[in-house]
Amino acid sequence: MEAFEPTIIAFVCNWCTYTAADLAGTARMVQSPRLRLVRMMCTGMVDPKYVIKALLSGADGVLISGCHPGDCHYINGNYKARRRVKLLNEILTGFGFDERRLKLTWVGASEGNEFAATVNRMVEDIRALGPSEAAAVQAL
Amino acid sequence: MPSVARLPVENGNPVRAMQELLRRLLAEDDIVGVFAPRQPPAKGAVMPSLITDPEALASVDPASPSFPVNAAQQVARLTRGDLDGKLIAVLRPCELRAFTELVKLNQGSLQNLIIVGADCHGAFDNDGFRAFMESNGGKPGIDNSADFLRRVSAGEFTAAANGGPALARACRACEHPAPEHADLTIGLFGQDTSRDVLLIPGTAQGEALVSRLGLATSGSGAGRDEALTRIRAERTAYRDAMFEETRAATATPAKLAEYLAACVGCYNCRAACPVCYCRECVFLTDVFAHEPWQYLGWARQKGALRMPTDTLFFHLTRMAHMSLSCVGCGQCSNACPNDIGVMELFRTVAARTQSAFDYEAGRNPDEKPPLTVFHQKEFAEVTGGHD
């Protein structure tokens, strides 16, 4: 049997973390290829549905990453994202999802190294956790 | 403690005393109508109605154990504009709490509204109500309700003893039996409702009304607080056992799928939910009109795909949308055609989410819904300690 390799969906904001991801790439930093990036205009527009859909559709983890507090291009989208992640964590952990599967981080546009480190750390964590608790469910 | 008035009850039927109160209120110049549950002309469920003719008040029945709909959405509808006067709304505690949530979401308004709440012994679900009516010998509706009050005060209907009807589980688990922040509360707990009921003003508007009506006020409502404390304790214990049972039954995604296995995606729970606030539900849009190749792809992932799809997705999304505003009225379970314990599930989740934000749906009209506000420093655990 092949070793488990996690699939992680990442929703990253255009202004900070996506730019950092771009920087990490152009600087040829070593990153796990297990992450699928979805570029959003702001973490404040990451609808809880996106996270739920990802986890039900086979993602083993979801990363949401945006600007540091105070740096949001839209003033306060990241604060709203934080409340939504808090809400989602309360809901999902009640049904046995490990809370480490949903992660919110702040990675600024210049922090390419921090982005690569975040990706590698999360892939390690989820690899250790194993496949999503939803993997066995045939109902979406 | 505001002073409390007593409404005398004649012929042993407290529903008539409530009707008399509403008749006197409707006679006031600035009152344009009464919104209250009303017995149907023939058999059937008691439905909220908007009443302008005092004659029609003779079939109003705030004490009925029939609860086919949470009226919060309907009251909200009546308060979205000007009315040329004040409207009296007679609501159950859970209807009032749900309406309060809608007010916070700017879907209703407390202006032009006088809220009359009544102590709530609970209600039957639709099946239970039919069973109760049959067991009570087909009396006219209002007499049935007086019987119900007498029997429920004596401790009946709290369990399905001897195969008889029991109150809805939502009501047995409801720790909010008394209206919160109503202008006027009709106090039933701990009272001999065949003699009189209490009228308790809860706001300045309520106090003004009581004095305008010239009702004599006298001290406090003897016995009500004690009865309320006892009922709350019983229901809280029942609720906590229900939470425990539901948590165990849905402890993994696979168990949750099993719990919801009978869901046919009718969305009745959504339609019946008083705090499902989206004007257009995303689950009714083309977002979920998947292409055949998409279904095939999902089936190939796991070898088989349960259809209709999006069952877990629907319920989890609804939890993300409305669990913070869930008042536990139980209409979702009442509306489910396949007897899924929707109320049990959503209340269990709501207890978690509301406590995470130190929030309680319907508690205070001035509180902001948690997802509409934020603080700069909070929930550092979400981002691993970085804020």
Q: What is the 3-state secondary structure (H, E, C) of chain B?
A: CCCCEEEECCCCCHHHHHHHHHHHHHCCCCEEEEEEEECCCCCCCCEEEEECCHHHHHHECCCCCECCCCCHHHHHHHCCCCCCCEEEEEECHHHHHHHHHHHHCCCCCCCCEEEEEECCCCCECHHHHHHHHHHCCCCCHHHHHHHHHHHHHCCCCCCCHHHCCCCCHHHHCCCCCCCCCCCEEEECCCCCCCCEEEEEECCHHHHHHHHHCCCCECCCCCCHHHHHHHHHHHHHHHHHHHHHHHHHHCCCHHHHHHHCCCCCCCCHHHHHCCCCCCCCCHHHCHHHCCCHHHHHHHHHHHCCCCCCCCHHHHHHHHHHHHHHHCCCCCHHHHHCCCCCCHHHHHHHHHHHHHHHCCCCCCCCCCCCCHHHCCCCCCCHHHHCCCC
Q: How far is A28 from chain B (nearest CA, A)?
A: 26
Quick one: pLDDT at residue A45? 96
Tell me the pLDDT tens digit for each residue of B184-235: 999 999 998 888 899 999 999 999 999 988 887 776 677 899 999 999 999 9
Residue B221: predicted pLDDT: 76
Q: Per-residue pLDDT averaged across A10-15, rounded?
A: 98
Give the HSE-up count for residue B74: Cα atoms under 13 Å, Cβ half-sphere: 17
Least Cα distance to B26 among B209, B187, B216, B182 occurs for B209
- The reported pLDDT for the residue numbered B141 is 81
The pLDDT score that the predictor gives to residue B45 is 83
pLDDT at A50: 97
Instruction: Tell me whether residue B228 is exposed, middle or buried, using C-beta atoms within 10 angstroms of its C-beta: 0 to 12, 13 to 18, 19 or more.
Output: middle
Instruction: Return the pLDDT at B160.
Output: 64
Q: Which one is predicted more confidently, A1 or B239?
A: B239
Does B374 sit within 8 Å of A82, measured CB to CB?
A: yes
Name the nearest CA neighbour of B173 among B254, B232, B113: B232
From edge to edge, which strands make up the β-sheet containing B31-38? B5-8, B196-201, B184-187, B113-118, B86-91, B31-38, B47-51
Q: How many angstroms separate the CA of residue A79 from the nearest CA in chain B?
A: 6
Q: Which residues of A touch B246 (CB under 8 A)?
A: none
Amino acid (1-letter code) at residue B365? P
Task: DSSP letter for A41, please.
Answer: S
What is the SS3 assignment for A18?
Answer: helix
pLDDT at res. B278:
94
The answer to whether the CB atoms of B386 and A105 lie below 8 A apart is yes
The C-alpha of B62 sits at a distance from chain A's nearest C-alpha, in angstroms, of: 36
Write b or e for each residue in A127-136: b if 16 or more Cβ atoms lie within 10 A of its Cβ, otherwise e: bebeebbbee
What pLDDT, on a 0 to 100 scale, did the predictor assign at position B12?
87
Q: Would the CB atoms of A49 and B324 count as touching at under 8 Å?
A: no
Chain B nearest C-alpha distance from A60 (Å): 13
pLDDT of residue A1: 62
pLDDT at B122: 96
**Angle formed by the axes of helices B342-356 and A77-94, to 10°?**
130
What are the residue boundaries of the structural domains of chain A, listed by start? 8-129
Quick: pLDDT tens for A56-84.
Answer: 999 999 999 999 999 999 999 999 999 99
Query: What is the CB neighbour count within 10 angstroms for residue B148?
Result: 25
**For residue B140, which of B317, B13, B302 has the smallest C-alpha distance?**
B13
Assigned CATH for A8-129: 3.40.50.960
CA distance B335 to chain A (A): 22
Contact A69 B376 (CB under 8 A): yes
- pLDDT for B168 equals 97
As a whole number of angstroms, the distance between CA B338 and CA B333 comes to 9
B66: nearest Cα among B189, B134, B190, B167:
B167
Helix, strand, coil content of chain A in percent (nearest 5): 45, 15, 40
Using a CB-CB cut-off of 8 Å, the residues of chain B touching A70 are 376
- Closest Cβ–Cβ partner in B252, B304, B306 for A95: B252
A53 touches chain B (CB under 8 A): yes
Across the interface, whether the CB atoms of B282 and A89 are under 8 A apart is answered no
CA distances to A89, A94, B194, B250, B272 from B348, rounded to whole Å, are 14, 9, 37, 10, 18
Out of A58, A85, A95, closest to residue B382 by CB: A85
Longest CA–CA span in chain B (Å) reads 74
If you measure CA to CA, which chain A residue comes closest to B251?
A95
Residue from B258, B306, B319 to probe the interface with A (highest A Cβ count within 10 Å): B319
* Chain B nearest CA to A90, separation (Å): 6
> Is residue A73 less than 8 Å (CB to CB) from chain B?
no
CB contacts of A134 in chain B (<8 Å) are 253
Interface contact A84, partner B, CB < 8 A: yes
Residue of A nearest to B376 (CA): A79
Task: Give chain B positions within 8 Å (CB) of A137.
Answer: 253-254, 257, 312
**pLDDT at B3 (0 to 100):** 78
Q: Which residues of chain B have pLDDT under 70?
A: 1-2, 160-162, 219-220
Residue B324 Cα, gap to closest chain A Cα (Å): 9
Which residues 111-130 on chain A approach chain B with CB closer than 8 angstroms?
Answer: none
B304–A138 CB contact, under 8 Å: yes
CB under 8 Å, gap of 24 or more: what pairs does A24-32 form? A24/A112, A24/A113, A24/A115, A24/A116, A24/A119, A26/A112, A27/A112, A27/A113, A29/A112, A29/A113, A29/A116, A30/A116, A30/A120, A31/A115, A31/A116, A31/A119, A31/A120, A32/A119, A32/A120, A32/A123
User: Phi/psi of residue B24, each to 5°?
Assistant: -70, -35
